[in-house]
Amino acid sequence: MKLSYFTLFLSFSVIMYFITQLGSFHSYWNKRLREHKKAKRFLTQESCVDPYIKADLGDFNLCTQSEEILSQSPFFKALYDLAEDNSLCGRGKCYMFYTDVTSNIHKIIITLGILSILVCFLSGLQIKRHRHENAVNYYRLPIKND
């Protein structure tokens, strides 16, 4: 019975994970599709079509950024966004973990110190109990089994 509850929970969790990933993909795809349409619209404007205006703007124009947006399809960009969400260090997760650890390093060291003292104390008690049991067994008379 326990196994069926576990498989039910695991199946439900996997299904919910895929549903949330599908929802994230859909929102990323809509966002990238809007970006794609805006970039296509911007490239048809005078600032990107007229070579004199384009040369006058130099690096300040958004034409190259729009061309870069149009170089990939919105579907694959949404897929990359979803993969970045699921990667280990995607969206700055490793940096956030690093800042959390470095800002709380004193708490971590104190906690590990207390745990190591507790482990040493409990190990000492266990060794003492084991020695006592060995001494009791050494001086115990053998029992005759019939």
Distances 75 to 17, 22, 78 between C-alpha atoms, Å: 20, 13, 5
Q: Which range has the worst mean pLDDT, 6-20, 57-71, 77-91? A: 57-71
Domain boundaries, the chain: 2-90, 104-146
- For residue 63, the number of C-alpha atoms closer than 13 Å in the C-beta half-sphere is 18
pTM: 0.66
pLDDT tens-digit profile of 55-76? Answer: 777 777 788 888 899 999 999 9
- What pLDDT shows up at residue 2? 67
